[in-house]
Amino acid sequence: MEIQPLISIALCTYNGSAFLREQLDSVLGQRYTHWELVVVDDCSTDSTRAILEAYAGSDARISLHYNPQNLGYNKNFEKALGFCQSELIAICDQDDIWHPEKLEKQVRLIGNHTLVYHDSEFVNAEGQSMNRRISDKLRFYRGGAPEVFLFLNCVSGHSILMKKSVLQKSLPFPADFHYDQWLAFNAACMGTIDFLPEALVQYRQHSSNNTDILALKPVEKSVDQKVLALEMESRWLMLCARQCAGKAHGLINALYSQSLRRNDRFFDAAFGILVWKHRDTLLRLLKKSDTSKFFYALRKAWGTKAKMTAK
């Protein structure tokens, strides 16, 4: 009989009582049964804690941890993942619903890959299908080119099954950036990633989502926010250049250096040209025409002075 490897599942909760039972039931309903669920609650003030304790009281695979003060989304996941001891680690949001074969199919796929992920179906707050998937918005990627994840990300946290070595390389999570994009970048630095085209999670969209992937809540950015976004992009590129010493390092470092020049100018054609020249990797995830990709690269060339003069 084949021995099933243990999977550590990291679940973070915060005032999640509205949807938490459905998610916990879907984890308990996995056909793959050799898992532990590590839950860290971030100072919930609703009935989340009572729900967690009821489930943990009936299943020894569930362990609970409570923060003495609120850490926020990224730092709470960092803490929860730090408690995971298995060689295989999955990530779980409090408001989604897992397909019964999610873990089983991902374990079967991972092999020598550093990380595997899958497609997800968008559902509304009531759990009804919105007839859209993540793959309708982004092209999925398999391979070992970390530069694919510099500007875009197709790997949602809830879809990840990764080797523990990826987490070890990724901790601590850099502040102010999406932890799932950071994990995908590091996984591709270390080896190869792969995906399942099946929608193995019902990805719930509601007013409290931390990531607005469908842009249901459009926000007009102020001039200061647009300038800050350029500075943050440079900081992100710097972190990635420092993190990845492989064949992509030269391109990432060139992008970082050129982004600093762009930030001090009205328009820096060299940065846009660099993005366009390497569009096959940098813009690979965009499900757009070459014309749209060209204008994407062009927008990357506008610097701080342009943002400050724009209405």
Q: Tell me the pLDDT band of 219, cut-offs 50, 70 and 90.
A: low
Query: Nearest Cα to 37, choosing from 78, 9, 68, 18?
Result: 9
Before 174, cis peptide (omega within 30)? no
Percentage, residues of the chain above pLDDT 90 = 88
In whole numbers, what is the pLDDT of the chain averaged over residues? 94
pLDDT class for 37, splitting at 50, 70, 90?
very high
pLDDT (0 to 100) of residue 245: 87
> Residue 223: pLDDT band by 50, 70, 90 thresholds?
confident
Is the pLDDT assigned to residue 174 strictly greater than 80? yes
- pLDDT at residue number 221: 80
Q: What's the pLDDT score for residue 213?
A: 60
Q: How far apart are CA 115 and CA 194, in angstroms?
A: 7
Fold for 7-204, please state it.
Spore Coat Polysaccharide Biosynthesis Protein SpsA; Chain A (3.90.550)
Q: Which residues contact 196 (CB under 8 A, 6 or more apart)?
A: 105, 106, 109, 116, 117, 118, 119
Return d(Cα 154, Cα 118) in angstroms, integer.
9
Structural domain boundaries in the chain: 7-204, 223-309
pLDDT surpassing 60 at residue 106 = yes
pLDDT digit string, tens, across residues 226-258:
999 999 999 999 999 999 988 899 999 999 999
